[in-house]
Structure 1
Amino acid sequence: MKNIRYYLHALLFSFSAPIAAYMMSMNIKTHAPPNSLWGAVTFCIFFCLVSVLITFVLTRDHLSSGMIASFATLGILYTRDLFMLLITIILTASVVLSILRRKLDLSPSYMLMNILSIGFAVYFGGSYILFIHSAPWDMDVSMAESIRVTTPFPYTHKPDIYYIILDAYGGDKMLQKLHEFDNSGFISALEERGFVVIQEGKSNYTRTIHSVGSSLNMQYLDSVDRIMSESYLWWPLTGTFANNETRKFLESQGYHTANIASGWSFTSLKDADFYSQPYPLFLNEFERFFVQNTNLSMLGFMGKYGVSIPSYDSHRKTVLYEFQQLGQIATLMSPKFVFVHIVSPHPPFVFDAEGNPIDPDYQFTIADNRYLITPPAKYEKGYLDQVSFVNDQILQAVDAILANSATPPIIILQGDHGPGNFLDAASESPPCFYERYSILNALLLPGIQATIVPQDLTPVNTFRMIFNLYFSANLEFLPNHQYFSTPEAVHYFSDVSDRIDDSCIFPSN
């Protein structure tokens, strides 16, 4: 055990690498929960142990193998800026010690690295613990009213229910008015298949986390606003997806839940009765960030061997996998509630209109930022091409679902919000709100006349209507509202319902 002193610094540096990366990134702290980094911590410790084993076999020297393992850890598992800072401190201190000792002897370096690694681990470990204790972990968005089935289910077989979110898919009238894009062919194809299409579909929120969290829970997120109005964190709302009111009610009625991984942890329900993902090892938000921002990015080739290394290619594969799996899910045991979130036509724009692959000219991200994709005309073309691609894919998926369903299913195709070419998320005075709040909202409701569906239906009332129509639930419709929030206070909502139809000016930059 006395030789542990030669390896302590390597172990502590490897343990601290993911924690330091997490605590130093405001963006990743916003989106990824603190417990999402423990897989990366385990990997880093394993990497360190393997490095120690290999170097000791080669050198047969504890001091050398410990030092090499530490430098390998710092060089591969740390961001470049942090790596350069630590190496500078280590080398400078080693040289100073050597001068003071009047001879070049690097043997005390392991003691210096032990001291530095302990301080490093204490600082970032302490910051991590404080962050955990100060964060709002549990958000209660349960409905104020309970769902009561007042009459027996009126049909012989309960229909499967598909809730398919096409991220950032805007309404056809908005696409025509603002972007001169004729989407009438797609809308007609849906109507030919029996869908009711809301002519001026509107979202209730501008972000997926709020829009889908609200629709799945059939209510506005007033409790989130009340508790987290000054918070920038997204991840505490994870439970609004995993334990949503729609899922709980349907499971109480004998439904199984099915989900296909979206590449976004919020909408990837791993505890579903049926869960499918395109990669055997599907990295979470933090793990993708960690790979992208360290020299682990050299492992891009691992995408060919079942690891979802963050890239435009892996994103393409995920989107295509979701479309392809929709038809296969229809063959599973019924009744089932299928929730699928497809991050398209939302950026990144990785398909042209014919479905050919495209790689954007910036580092991989799924952020929707008109300042990232410039000029605005470039965003517009990329978005509209991807809409054309999605149209073809979703029609094929719908046809496969219908062909493989023993009982006519309920299918909801819904945008969570519109595109973001006109949106400045940091300002309540963007070029216009109309584009962002306009959504595709199409519903296939077997046995229900189209005239029963309100043409002002918004996502928050979607499942209230369905449960009333098919389960006699007698839920009241909520008034339609549109809420906006800035990134700095992402859960502090302003009601902008009276501004969503204001005239728009195409952004100049």
Structure 2
Amino acid sequence: MKKFKTILGRWFAIPWYPILFGAYPVLALLAVNVGQIKVEAGWRALIICIAFAGILSLLLRLVLRDWNRAAFLSTLWMALFFSYGHVFITLTEKFSDVDFESWLLLAWLILFLLAILWAVKRSPSSPAALNVIALGLALMSLWQIQPEVRKGSVHRVAAENAPVDENLTRPENPPDVYYFILDMYTRADLLQEAYGYDNSAFLDALRARGFYVAQCSQSNYVRTELSVASSLNMAYLQGLDPAFTPDSIKRRVLWDSYKHNAVRYNFETLGYKTIAFATGFAWNELDDVDVFYTPPPFSAGMTEFETLFMQTTLARYAQDLGWVDIDQITGQNFRDRTLLVFDSMDDIARMDEPTFAYVHVISPHPPFVFGPDGEYTDPADFWNDKKQYPKDLFARGYQNQLTFLNQKVLEAMDTLIAESDTPPIIILQGDHGPWLQSNDKRMWILNAYYLPNHDQGLYPTISPVNSFRYIFDEYFKGNYDMLPDVSYFSPVPKLYNFSEVKNNCK
């Protein structure tokens, strides 16, 4: 024990804390966004920051000729470098009408110079205390991140009352099942009313291919995470799990129930191969399915996490200097993921096993990165200097993206239908309506079904909570009763404080 204490004392007498202080900003940002960002998205930033901390300490050691002073100064400088963006963002939110940027930069320059005086003039002290602090901060962040790193059982349901059915019957020729969520895709009547956009050609094309379009459908909830978690669990959230209480703001169970849901469980039990695609949002990516499609990690040069991290540091000025275009990088990432979906339809349709594909396309939802013919559009062209969407720019971007999406969807439907030996099951569904509309109209969604010879029981107001209840009963001899079609609005942050929204569609 005495020898161990001696070794530990010697180890903590070495000033290695700059390495952990360099890693901490990345770990802390991952911890704050746990569940929304994949941990692996921060690996490159973490390596770069650790290398930056080591190189800076080494260079200062060569100048100051003292490891303790070099470590202390490098830590002070890194604290200023990594905190600048956080201070800038906070001040921008609180004093949006004040031009403080020049003064903030001057203050930071003064602090950089004062840090030199402090590090040089102060007597070198034992690094043990700073080593302990750095280690504590790193461990605290890792503790917050670790639930996201742990992998549980894949074949499970997360919600306590998820209505799984172990007695479903797989037909002799099981159909492939494709569940398309077209994010923020609204109904034809709202498109006409809000934007003067006539979507009848697209809907007629779907009907000509055999789709049933529920012309009065509403989403059951107003936000993606609520809406799709309800749809995939075939239940209203109020009774799905005790965690969803009106006063709660927690999302861990919600996100887990989104990924490990009753629909997926049923299809896995039936022997289906499960397929999903990257969306850019970790909380709604079913990344533990059998086949998970995602673009190359750095196809756009940087990940969204890296652009977010850059914005929290002094490196945010790389965009102002023209070295990096964060908006273009973000837009390209969204384009890559969207195009990957439609480029993969042929491969999925040709798979031998029966498949359940969850296909969540973040479109026509912003960012607006597609013109009507698929050309690249800069997402920054559709917001103001506060990154808010004016109504006219939102309408233009939404319609452009919708027009291109319609083309790709029809092409995908033709591929899936033509290359399926057994007629497939296809659902095309919005998860909620567009922003900048009244609460009731934000519920109006596209809801279309391709169920050849099985669509007689569908009706104009069917809502997503009943989609798979109907399909399991119709195709797999299930015993699900159809639920009343009800829509609920809830505010942020109290996502589970629901109020009913009537469906007045006629």
Q: Is TM more than 0.5 here?
A: yes
Write out aligned runs for 1:48-447 (5 A). 48=52, 51=55, 55=59, 63=67, 66=71, 70=75, 73-74=78-79, 77-81=82-86, 92=114, 95=117, 105-106=120-121, 108=123, 111=125, 118-119=132-133, 122=136, 140-143=158-161, 145-149=163-167, 152-154=169-171, 156-222=172-238, 223-224=240-241, 226-280=243-297, 289-294=308-313, 311-361=330-380, 372-422=387-437, 432-447=438-453
What is the deviation of 1:322?
1.6
What is the deviation of 1:234?
3.4
Q: Structure 2: 5+ residue runs without aligned partners?
A: 1-6, 89-104, 320-325
Residue of structure 1 equivalent to 2:4: none
Inter-CA distance 157–60: structure 2 relative to 1 (3 Å threshold):
farther
Residue of structure 2 equivalent to 1:467: 472
Inter-CA distance 124–402: structure 2 relative to 1 (3 Å threshold):
same
Inter-CA distance 127–3: structure 2 relative to 1 (3 Å threshold):
closer
What is the deviation of 1:169?
0.2
The structure 1 residue matched to 2:19, chosen from 5, 8, 11, is 11
Q: Structure 1: 5+ residue runs without aligned partners?
A: 99-104, 301-306, 423-431, 504-509
What is the deviation of 1:55?
4.2
What is the deviation of 1:253?
0.6
Corresponding letter in the other structure for 1:399: D
What is the deviation of 1:47?
2.5
Inter-CA distance 324–146: structure 2 relative to 1 (3 Å threshold):
closer
CA contact (8 A) 1:161 1:338 kept: yes
**1:255-292 CA distance string (max 9 Å, x none):** 01011111111232221111111123598875553244
**1:428-479 CA distance string (max 9 Å, x none):** xxxx23321010111111332x432122210011110000010010201111
Cα distance between partner residues in 1 of 2:318 and 2:15: 26
Structure 1 window deviating more from structure 2 (373-382 vs 471-480): it is 373-382
Normalised to the residue count of structure 2, the TM-score between the two structures is 0.77
Structure 1 window deviating more from structure 2 (257-266 vs 10-19): it is 10-19
Residue of structure 2 equivalent to 1:492: 497
What is the deviation of 1:243?
1.0
Residue of structure 1 equivalent to 2:101: none
Is 1:47 the equivalent of 2:65? no
Inter-CA distance 34–195: structure 2 relative to 1 (3 Å threshold):
closer
**1:331-378 CA distance string (max 9 Å, x none):** 2232010001110000111112222211133799xxxx9x95443122
Residue of structure 1 equivalent to 2:94: none
Q: What value does the CA root-mean-square deviation take over the aligned residues?
A: 4.2
Inter-CA distance 107–240: structure 2 relative to 1 (3 Å threshold):
same
Cα distance between partner residues in 2 of 1:113 and 1:299: 34
CA contact (8 A) 1:34 1:132 kept: no
What is the deviation of 1:403?
2.9
**1:136-169 CA distance string (max 9 Å, x none):** x99942445441536x544x31011000100000
SS across alignment from 1:333: coil
Inter-CA distance 14–254: structure 2 relative to 1 (3 Å threshold):
same
Cα distance between partner residues in 1 of 2:84 and 2:41: 16
Inter-CA distance 90–49: structure 2 relative to 1 (3 Å threshold):
closer
Number of residue-to-residue matches in the alignment: 463
Residue of structure 2 equivalent to 1:456: 461
Cα distance between partner residues in 1 of 2:195 and 2:249: 32
Cα distance between partner residues in 1 of 2:344 and 2:56: 43
Cα distance between partner residues in 1 of 2:28 and 2:112: 18
Corresponding letter in the other structure for 2:493: E
CA contact (8 A) 1:242 1:269 kept: yes
Inter-CA distance 309–56: structure 2 relative to 1 (3 Å threshold):
farther
Inter-CA distance 228–48: structure 2 relative to 1 (3 Å threshold):
farther
CA contact (8 A) 1:264 1:284 kept: no
SS across alignment from 1:162: strand
What is the deviation of 1:6?
5.9
Cα distance between partner residues in 2 of 1:141 and 1:285: 30
Residue of structure 2 equivalent to 1:429: none
What is the deviation of 1:198?
0.6
Cα distance between partner residues in 1 of 2:142 and 2:62: 37
SS across alignment from 1:320: helix
Cα distance between partner residues in 1 of 2:311 and 2:349: 36
Kindly, what percent of the aligned residue pairs are identical? 30
Residue of structure 2 equivalent to 1:507: none
Corresponding letter in the other structure for 1:193: R
